[in-house]
A and B are shown apart, each in its own frame.
Chain A
């Protein structure tokens, strides 16, 4: 039985609304969906960050100190911790002048996964291969 592929596309910047945070939390909770599937059928999620969505990944966010809320950075790190594939649009990083070392990682939490900075064409392929697209 074919697996179900989900693409979570985060395109909005952080904090102005809950939109990007919801993208991460929905992606993290993908396992819940598996309860509704046939035995042996799996969900394969991929988080794609495009456009202003890449701004969610800037590290050293001080949201708890200033807003008293969990940072979007923490949600991104938790996504890596649960082994989600996270694709970051290379062209959009260049557009905003963001170097790779400005982005978060979750090594300190013991995550094996890392952000994957890829050309948009690769993200497009993920979108085409997915059964469902969820935009945030």
Chain B
């Protein structure tokens, strides 16, 4: 299963994502999910960033919250809406919205 997961909240989704397994797992951080990509709580990046190598954060949602690409962990690729559409159609056969 190739599963793309839209992570759109900051705290409430961590445990759910940590339990998910897939042949290919992508985490697409949108809305308040982008805080996972940009914040280092108590100096530590979000545990979700260790879950997979396929990490994306939506640039528009970063900018809305006063965050820039410079704030984002180097493991996360900053993408546009257009890039997200490509991910949906080309990279993942199933999608989940948390």
User: Which A residues have a C-beta under 8 Å from some C-beta of B?
Assistant: 13-16, 52, 55, 58-63, 65-67, 71, 73, 95-97, 102
Q: Which of B11, B40, B63 contacts A62 (CB 8 A)?
A: B63
Cβ contact within 8 Å between B64 and A16: no
Question: Interface 1/0s, chain B 58-72, versus A by CB < 8 A?
Answer: 001101111100000
Tell yes or no: B31 within 8 A of A by CB. Answer: yes
A-B residue pair count with CB separations less than 8 angstroms: 51
The 8 closest A-B pairs by CB, nearest first: A58-B66, A62-B63, A66-B60, A16-B32, A61-B66, A66-B64, A60-B66, A97-B40
User: Which B residues have a C-beta under 8 Å from some C-beta of A?
Assistant: 8-11, 31-32, 35, 39-43, 60-61, 63-67
Q: A16-B8, A66-B60 are in contact. Are A97 and B39 (CB under 8 A)?
A: yes
Cβ contact within 8 Å between B42 and A95: yes
Cβ contact within 8 Å between A13 and B66: no
Q: A16-B8, A16-B9 are in contact. Are A97 and B63 (CB under 8 A)?
A: no
Cβ contact within 8 Å between A15 and B66: no
Additional A-B contacts beyond A15-B65, A61-B65, A63-B64 (5; CB < 8 A): A16-B8, A58-B66, A62-B63, A62-B66, A73-B66
Cβ contact within 8 Å between A52 and B10: yes
